[in-house]
Amino acid sequence: MVSFVTAWLGTARGTGRTAVASLASQWAALGGGRRSAVISTADLDAARHAFGRRNQIYLFQLLATIFEEIPTKSAARSALREGRVRLNGSVVTSSTTWAAEPGDSLSLDQRTSKLEMSDDLEKRLRSWNERKKREEAQIRLLHSDDERGWAVVNKPAGLDSAPWAESHSNKRFTFQSYLPTVVPPPRTGCTPCPGPRVCHRLDFRVAGPLVVATSVEAMRKLKEFFARRKVEKEYRAIVCGTLADEETEFTIQEPLDGKACRTDVKVLKVVRCPHFGRLSMLALWPRTGRYRQLRRHLAEVLGRPIVNEDEGLLRAALKHWQGPPLQVSRGRGNLFLQAIQVTVPPLDNSMDRVTVRVAPSDRFEELLSQSQDAWSRGWRTDETTGRSIRLG
């Protein structure tokens, strides 16, 4: 059985002020708690692999590997300095402490970040959503399962998915920072995370459904699903040039960074374009989860970069590009890539597989229509100057 959720964002307008404040208050009231783990050989091996260590590793590196609540090395060092880490019951504060041995107990006093629970978080969310006119550009709850402790939320383009070293140092809001005002805490029976946590990532310039955990149990299960490639995702993209006739399906299996990689592709629509000769709208299904997999497969392997792609990938596409001269400067506006569907396997025997789908942005069809119309009216790109000219 499949539980299918079609998330029409236009009908999922942001919750009212009272409801938003109530959610933030509920998360603030949880007050953290303590996470504990018994260190295993597998934990130590995972930390060595993650940080490129052959033998001994530091305790902060082990912390960043074991606890999902600690996303970076700097966050792990901060947890030590703040006295929130205990090894075999004793507080450890030094970031130069070596990791423990198998069988030792490690605990972390959880703390909700001040950034996530800032007083103006509700105001910030309301301001963000009111400024954005397009539905895919708003932060919206698409699906919630507070019994098991997980949800799906729309991430707009223009936000990092989760905190990382630069956002921590700059105290910059990320998509995850807004989640306590959008996603309810889990019901009694689950171990709550210190705040909603994203389980995977979308690029800064990409919008779409993003899976979020609110309980430690769901976080562990969802992370396992993503690691084992059990979560299915679908994207829409518009690329420069043409790949094949409409309705053609094919697979890209070129490795990236020495790792096996697969993307399934279907050509949905092809139109004429004054700048690139043609534009193609694609449906994309990443079957692996490599860094920037879709963008790199299209640009580096096929020579068909996404419209408004970054300069580095536009230059990489030149090797295989066929068509009018390809400008390597990024165009105005957002990247024409959007996640539109995510399918999550059952977290337990009492639930079905859940599929959450959003409508592709209107801007995709608008671009195709404008491009075909400009071509029909005689607009072309001069190959010498790179400027648009109208024939006849």
Judged against a pLDDT cut of 80, whether residue 146 lies above it is answered with yes
pLDDT score for 115: 47
Residue 53 lies in a domain: yes
pTM attached to this predicted model = 0.80
Question: CATH number, domain at 94?
Answer: 3.10.290.10
* 38 in Cβ contact with 104 (< 8 Å): yes
Question: CATH number, domain at 330?
Answer: 3.30.2350.10
Q: Are residues 292 and 373 in the same domain?
A: yes
280 vs 241: CA distance, rounded Å:
6
Which structural domain range is residue 150 located in?
2-30+114-227
How many domains does the chain divide into? 3
How large a percentage of the chain has pLDDT more than 90?
A: 61
Mean model confidence pLDDT for the chain: 87
pLDDT score for 202: 95
Our measurement of the distance from residue 141's CA atom to the centroid of its chain's CA atoms, rounded to an integer in Å, reads: 15
- The four Cα atoms 62, 66, 71, 72 give a dihedral, to 10 degrees, of 10
Q: From 227, 259, 284, give the residue that closes a domain.
A: 227
258 vs 211: CA distance, rounded Å:
28
- The amino acid sitting at 188 is T
Q: Are residues 333 and 305 in the same domain?
A: yes
Structure tokens at 337: 């890539």
Q: From 206, 227, 248, give the residue that closes a domain.
A: 227
Judged against a pLDDT cut of 60, whether residue 256 lies above it is answered with yes
Judged against a pLDDT cut of 50, whether residue 231 lies above it is answered with yes
Judged against a pLDDT cut of 80, whether residue 117 lies above it is answered with no
pLDDT score for 323: 83
Higher pLDDT, 120 or 280: 280
- The amino acid sitting at 138 is Q
- Please name the residues in contact with 343: beta carbons below 8 A apart, sequence gap of 6 or more: 2, 231, 232, 233, 353, 354, 355, 356
Q: Are residues 25 and 157 in the same domain?
A: yes
Q: Are residues 248 and 316 in the same domain?
A: yes
Q: Are residues 175 and 96 in the same domain?
A: no
Residue 327 lies in a domain: yes
Higher pLDDT, 234 or 8: 234
Residue 173 lies in a domain: yes
Structure tokens at 388: 């648009």
pLDDT score for 112: 54
Our measurement of the distance from residue 205's CA atom to the centroid of its chain's CA atoms, rounded to an integer in Å, reads: 10
> Which of these ranges, 29-33, 120-124, 351-355, 382-386, has the smallest mean pLDDT?
29-33
Q: From 110, 139, 171, give the residue that closes a domain.
A: 110
* 216 in Cβ contact with 193 (< 8 Å): yes
Q: Are residues 37 and 174 in the same domain?
A: no
Judged against a pLDDT cut of 60, whether residue 245 lies above it is answered with yes
Q: Are residues 217 and 353 in the same domain?
A: no
Angle made by CA atoms 196, 199, 200, in degrees to the nearest 5: 135
In the chain the first and final C-alpha atoms are separated, in Å, by 59
Judged against a pLDDT cut of 80, whether residue 1 lies above it is answered with no
Stretch 81-109: mean pLDDT: 91
Residue 264 lies in a domain: yes
Place of tokens 């910059």: 172
Q: Are residues 257 and 336 in the same domain?
A: yes
Stretch 60-80: mean pLDDT: 83
Q: Are residues 37 and 26 in the same domain?
A: no
- Please name the residues in contact with 364: beta carbons below 8 A apart, sequence gap of 6 or more: 236, 238, 281, 336, 338
Query: What is the pLDDT confidence band of residue 252, given thresholds at 50, 70 and 90?
Result: very high
> Which of these ranges, 165-174, 185-194, 322-331, has the smallest mean pLDDT?
165-174
Q: Are residues 189 and 222 in the same domain?
A: yes
* 115 in Cβ contact with 178 (< 8 Å): no
Judged against a pLDDT cut of 70, whether residue 227 lies above it is answered with yes
Residue 368 lies in a domain: yes
Q: Are residues 118 and 105 in the same domain?
A: no
Q: Are residues 249 and 150 in the same domain?
A: no
Residue 391 lies in a domain: no
Stretch 89-115: mean pLDDT: 83
